[in-house]
């Protein structure tokens, strides 16, 4: 809706894992550590971070970094799908097996495949996202995978990415031996103010913003304060701020516009956050509340799309004043509280597809 107003080619703050929007400066240390673990064939590495800090995006970037030299598998929400982790890995690697085959049989097929990959000079990497949801039986299969070796070399490199609760699980006696195999443990931290500013400018550059500094300095500070430097929250606040600027026919966004966005989204001031919700910055559960709120916003905006002239003609559509007036009326009515059964925020993100065997490029 606001693309022509700002001169964008696309929405800069979409809640997707589009690699075109990847900003690597804030995550470079974690990416380097994971690359090191894979290159040194440690067998197991752990990536931890709060919700929305960019773990999934980092995993996909890691996979792309090694695309020429490995067979990669990306698994998300493994606890939701088939119970056997080994079967999920085998299926993602296109290893043929029958539904009636036992997991032990599938494990043998997988072992043969992995040995062949090592002989061919390839590395197999399995990236498991949302690993805090792994079931106990899947952890046992994970232990089996980390035991696989051939001529002193690990047959598969595994990276587990998850919330801090994953680390707490590894600290329990049942998983202590598995935890000790993870030589590399790294955290994806929220961004500082400098990286928040660079992140915003980078995404504006990607969509061809005429002025990548359209968020004034005080506006960037407000975005950073309200989002705590968490990329997903930065996107949410900036998207709402752009909409407010569009409604008010502004090209440069100031602190007052961000403050209005924060109020619309019901974000709490930094000093008011308690320990339980401090990392999220919202009253109650962020994922539940934002899913309901964003659902209402997205549906309303979808209904407001109007025919417009080609991008070369940046004149406003004839109904633009009416639309702005309608949007202004929306801001007078606070969004309702999220229903307990609301879908999680990831509903609004492109679900990562399983990345199957990546062939070597010549």
The β-bridge partners of 129 are 76
Residue 316: pLDDT over 50? no
Residue 81: pLDDT over 80? no
CB 182 within 8 A of CB 45: yes
Q: Which H/E stretch holds residue 292?
A: helix 286-303
CB 289 within 8 A of CB 268: no
Quote the pLDDT of residue 87: 93
**Which residue from 323, 311, 299, 197 is spatially nearest to 248, judged by alpha carbons?**
323
Cα–Cα distance list, 140 to 47, 85, 124, 126, 344 (Å): 19, 9, 19, 16, 28
CB 75 within 8 A of CB 196: no
Residue 360: pLDDT over 50? no
Based on its alpha-carbon atoms, the radius of gyration of the chain, rounded to whole angstroms, reads 23
Residue 323: pLDDT over 80? no
Tell me what the mean pLDDT of segment 310-334 comes to: 51
Residues 142, 361, 351, 52, CA torsion sign: positive
Q: Which domains does the chain possess? A: 3-9+192-348 (no CATH), 40-188 (3.40.50.300)
Q: At what angle do helices 231-247 and 217-227 cross, to 10 degrees?
A: 130
Cα–Cα distance list, 14 to 23, 47, 171, 240 (Å): 14, 24, 36, 11
- Look-up: residue for tokens 């699980």? 169
| Tokens matching residue 260 | 């209005």
Segment 182-195, tens digit of pLDDT: 989 999 989 999 99
pLDDT band for position 2 (cuts 50, 70, 90)? confident
Segment 296-311, tens digit of pLDDT: 444 444 444 433 434 3
Residues 208, 209, 212, 218, CA torsion sign: negative
CA distance 248 to 264: 15
CA distance 252 to 7: 13
Quote the pLDDT of residue 283: 37
Quote the pLDDT of residue 74: 92
pLDDT band for position 152 (cuts 50, 70, 90)? confident
Q: Where is average pLDDT lowest: 5-14, 75-84, 120-129, 174-183?
A: 75-84
Q: What is the model's pTM?
A: 0.72
Quote the pLDDT of residue 194: 94
Residue 287: pLDDT over 80? no
Residue 71: pLDDT over 70? yes
DSSP states of 16-46:
S--GGG---GGGHHHHHHHHHHHHTT-SEEE
99 versus 270: the higher-pLDDT residue is: 99
> Count of residues for the chain?
362
Quote the pLDDT of residue 225: 94
Residue 295: pLDDT over 70? no
CA distance 9 to 33: 35
Segment 234-283, tens digit of pLDDT: 999 999 999 999 999 999 999 999 999 999 998 764 444 333 333 333 33
Percent residues over pLDDT 90 in the chain: 49
Secondary structure class of 129 (helix, strand, coil): strand
Q: Mean pLDDT across the chain, nearest whole number? A: 78
**Which residue from 52, 67, 71, 191 is spatially nearest to 130, judged by alpha carbons?**
52
Residues 336, 341, 343, 344, CA torsion sign: positive
Tell me what the mean pLDDT of segment 213-220 comes to: 94
């Amino acid at each position: 809706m606001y693309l022509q107003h700002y001169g964008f080619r696309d929405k800069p703050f979409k809640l997707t894992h589009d690699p075109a929007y990847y900003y690597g400066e804030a995550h470079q240390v974690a990416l380097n550590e994971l690359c090191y673990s894979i290159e040194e064939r440690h067998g197991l590495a752990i990536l931890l971070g709060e919700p929305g800090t960019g773990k999934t995006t980092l995993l996909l970037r890691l996979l792309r970094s090694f695309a020429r030299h490995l067979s990669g598998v990306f698994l998300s929400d493994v606890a939701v799908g088939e119970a056997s982790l080994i079967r999920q890995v085998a299926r993602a690697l296109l290893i043929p097996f029958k539904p009636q085959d036992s997991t032990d049989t599938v494990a043998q097929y997988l072992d043969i495949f992995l040995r062949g990959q090592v002989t061919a000079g390839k590395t197999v990497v399995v990236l498991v996202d949302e690993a805090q949801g792994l079931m106990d039986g899947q952890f046992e299969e994970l232990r089996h995978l980390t035991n696989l070796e051939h001529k002193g070399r690990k047959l598969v490199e595994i990276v587990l990415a998850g919330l801090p609760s994953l680390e707490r699980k590894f600290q329990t006696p049942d998983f202590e031996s598995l935890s000790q195999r993870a030589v590399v443990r790294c955290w994806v931290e929220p961004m500082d103010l400098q990286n928040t500013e660079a992140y915003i400018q980078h995404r504006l550059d990607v969509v061809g913003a005429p002025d990548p500094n359209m968020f004034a300095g005080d506006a960037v500070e407000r975005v950073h304060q309200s989002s705590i430097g968490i990329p997903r929250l930065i996107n949410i606040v900036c998207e709402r701020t752009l909409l407010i600027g569009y409604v008010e026919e502004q090209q440069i966004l100031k602190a007052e516009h961000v403050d209005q966005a924060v109020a619309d989204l019901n974000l709490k001031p930094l000093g008011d956050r308690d320990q339980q919700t401090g990392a999220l910055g919202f009253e109650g559960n962020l994922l539940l509340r934002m899913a309901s709120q964003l659902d209402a916003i997205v549906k309303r905006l979808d209904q407001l799309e109007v025919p417009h002239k080609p991008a070369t003609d940046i004149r406003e559509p004839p109904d633009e004043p009416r639309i702005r007036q309608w949007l202004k009326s929306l801001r007078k009515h606070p969004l309702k509280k999220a229903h307990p059964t609301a879908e999680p925020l990831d509903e609004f993100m492109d679900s990562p597809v399983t990345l199957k065997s990546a062939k070597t490029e010549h």
